[in-house]
Amino acid sequence: MPQTIRGYAAQSATQPLGPFRFERRDPRPDDVVIDILYCGVCHSDLHQVRNEWGGSIYPMVPGHEIIGRVSAVGATVSQFKVGDMVGVGCMVDSCQHCEACAHGLEQYCEEGATFTYNSTDRHDGSPTHGGYSERIVTSEKFVLHIPDGLDPKAAAPLLCAGITTWSPLRHWNIGKGSKVAVVGLGGLGHMGLKFAKALGAEVTLFTRSPGKEAEARRLGADHVVLSTDASQMKAVSSHFDFILDTVPHQHDLNPYLATLKLDGTLCLVGLLEPLDPPASAGQLIRKRRAIVGSLIGGIPETQEMLDFCAQHGIGADVEMIDIQDIDHAYERMLKSDVRYRFVIDLASLDKAA
């Protein structure tokens, strides 16, 4: 029988989140039932809750950076057992037969991936609800092993912020000898610095804020460039092989394009809006530079990323919160008042009225 689950939900774009009870489906043969311990808070949760991207479905239980323990498995599940520490990221299903899915790139499913929340189950048409809740039921194919030695609290943001930065670094073959710059020092940017450094690159942070050098170096930066300083920008002209741009709002790409080498690439992972101001075609043509984008990552590369993190002692820098503090956390996110990711302790649901 379906299970009644406690969670926190948005009832509209303007109301605070609050306690909410809803049903999770009876597990299918390939399903894993997970008791949620921790859930990261992503900036996209805020966008979706407030319908800033359009298409929000209410009531909405956000959360797609989920860590928990397996409490039950379906009859055909072979990769997980009760008691395993596992994760669920941004997706819970896809068509499983298109070219993208066949290559482990489910995020680019040609029929559209089923997202962990604010989406529709492709089998029964029910709304999907995320990790601001006590339990989730998910197909085995979209569950991830959390390796021993990886702090589960610090692992939660890896399932979105981590894979969003790992996937392009791996796709564009970043490694020893690469000169990489990261634009922005937030939830995505701090993971970009850690990963680029661990992969062997020479790493630079671009920032508009003076005084971040010590923090950037702690996270893996070899250099810090103040992007508002013309002399510092000129000093790195035609310098970088790859720029990972994590800024989630419109900004001028042209100063960064000028710092790319011949065949250099600027990759957008935070911006979903039109480019404004426009990018200079001349900047692209004269040095065969490219502007590209990347969306989260597939299940195989997410598992690869988690295993890499365990081997290299990498996790997100997190601040733990109770679920009752989620709206305050959203307001702090808007002020960039978090280093660098909030994570909800779901045991706090017991405090809810």
Strand boundaries in 217-259, DSSP class E: 223-226, 240-245
**Looking at the structure, do residues 150 and 221 belong to the same domain, yes or no?**
no
| Domain-located, residue 299 | no
| Domain-located, residue 300 | no
Rounded-to-integer distance, Cα 314 and Cα 309, Å: 5
**Looking at the structure, do residues 122 and 36 belong to the same domain, yes or no?**
yes
**Looking at the structure, do residues 27 and 154 belong to the same domain, yes or no?**
yes
When divided into structural domains, the chain yields a total of 2
| Domain-located, residue 305 | no
| Domain-located, residue 27 | yes
**Looking at the structure, do residues 172 and 86 belong to the same domain, yes or no?**
no
**Looking at the structure, do residues 207 and 86 belong to the same domain, yes or no?**
no
205: phi then psi, degrees, rounded to nearest 5: -100, 130
Is residue 102 helix, strand or coil?
helix
When pLDDT is cut at 50, 70 and 90, the band that residue 2 belongs to is confident
Question: Which residues lie closer than 8 Å to 242 by C-beta, 6 or more apart?
Answer: 169, 172, 174, 178, 179, 180, 181, 264, 265, 266, 267
| Domain-located, residue 308 | no
| Domain-located, residue 51 | yes
- The radius of gyration of the chain's CA atoms, rounded to the nearest angstrom, is 20
**Looking at the structure, do residues 23 and 153 belong to the same domain, yes or no?**
yes
Give the per-residue pLDDT at 351.
86
pLDDT in tens, 43-66: 999 999 999 999 999 999 999 999
Query: Residue 249 is part of which domain span?
Result: 162-293
Q: Is the peptide bond before 277 cis (omega within 30 degrees of 0)?
A: yes
When pLDDT is cut at 50, 70 and 90, the band that residue 158 belongs to is very high
pLDDT at 328 over 60: yes
Q: What is the CATH number of the domain that holds 248?
A: 3.40.50.720
Strands of the sheet with 179-183, listed across from one edge: 223-226, 202-207, 179-183, 240-245, 260-268, 290-293
| Domain-located, residue 172 | yes
Give the per-residue pLDDT at 352.
55
Give the per-residue pLDDT at 231.
98
**Looking at the structure, do residues 280 and 325 belong to the same domain, yes or no?**
no
Quote the pTM value.
0.96
Q: What is the CATH number of the domain that holds 326?
A: 3.90.180.10
The whole-number average pLDDT for the span 164-188 is: 97
Task: Give me the residues paired with residue 186 across strands.
Answer: none
Question: Which residues lie closer than 8 Å to 237 by C-beta, 6 or more apart?
Answer: 258, 259
